[in-house]
Structure 1
């Protein structure tokens, strides 16, 4: 499973509960993995829906001003969905595994980076001049290229987690399939 991630421990406005240096405190790995995947499922579905809508918007006949408003709305939706998922992950607590606090913080930071990438793209598109269609669509393509780069730069592969119990939990919990 790939999750957008920045490998820093910044947690944004939500907080990840600390502790869980060993397995004696925190959330059991299977419960934490279930919470994470349950939070990510609607987020992924929303992003897929927004991606489909964006493609439809860009291929339909609209004015640059209409396209701009539609794209700003779509990017704002992705930003909001990413923040909602980030908050749910922060609320999931800390897995009761070695370096559980660091791992939880990486997941939160991952979604924070995704949220910020969508916010940057939304802000860029919102500031574009629609007077010249060719210039506008070239700038939109550039904004989406930057979004894709920022989003890809934040990828966290759960298959490479430093915690064997969490890797196992992500592989076994039905919500993660």
Structure 2
């Protein structure tokens, strides 16, 4: 009986210990971040390549619209997946680690939201309008502006994290 009681009491302690991991080493954090961002970049590259291959000089505006919406929606989805993965990571165990983590998460949220807004705008365009391509250009300009306005995680202020990002294989 006593043994069972000790076992029952140890389970919550193990659970608390596992949940109490509030930080990761700089190296482990960089590995996780690059392990998330690599597939994100690859997916966006694949989507871009697919759209470029599908939109030919003789493509109809409707085809161009469909392919662009597919590209931008896919980029929004990839950004959302990457965002959710990074949001689950604990902060790196460096000075200002929580702020660094929040900057990475916010940058992906900005990308996700910018792509989502652009997909909605592109989806609402009339492909038969005479100014269709001008409107597409305006949407893409707004997308670039919104994307660029987000936080810039490349301006890390942590020597440990810079070194980790420079040395872990996943980040090359």
Compute the TM-score of the two structures, normalised by the length of structure 2.
0.81
Cα deviation code 1:62-114 (max 9, x no counterpart): 32222222211111100000011111111222101111111101000000000
Q: 1:137 to 1:79 in 2, by over 3 A?
A: same
Of 140, 144, 147, the match for 2:143: 147
Measured in 2, the distance between the counterparts of 1:56 and 1:152 equals: 26
State the partner residue of 1:98: 95
Cα deviation code 1:1-34 (max 9, x no counterpart): xxxxxxxxxxxxxxxxxx99xxxx5101100000
Which runs of no fewer than 5 residues in structure 1 stay unpaired?
A: 1-18
SS of 1:59's partner is coil
State the partner residue of 1:12: none
Runs of 4+ in 1 over 6 A off after TM superposition: none
Q: 1:174 to 1:165 in 2, by over 3 A?
A: same
Compute the TM-score of the two structures, normalised by the length of structure 1.
0.79
Measured in 1, the distance between the counterparts of 2:168 and 2:76 equals: 27
Aligned pairs (5 A) from 1:54-69: 54-69=51-66
Question: CA offset at residue 146 of structure 1?
Answer: 1.4
Which runs of no fewer than 5 residues in structure 2 stay unpaired?
A: 1-19
Measured in 1, the distance between the counterparts of 2:31 and 2:146 equals: 27
Aligned length: 153
Q: 1:145 to 1:63 in 2, by over 3 A?
A: same
Larger radius of gyration, structure 1 or 2? 2
Question: CA offset at residue 55 of structure 1?
Answer: 2.7
Question: CA offset at residue 131 of structure 1?
Answer: 2.0
Q: Does 1:175 align with 2:170?
A: yes
Measured in 2, the distance between the counterparts of 1:155 and 1:104 equals: 11
Contact 2:107 2:153 in 1 (8 A): no
State the partner residue of 1:77: 74
Measured in 1, the distance between the counterparts of 2:80 and 2:106 equals: 11
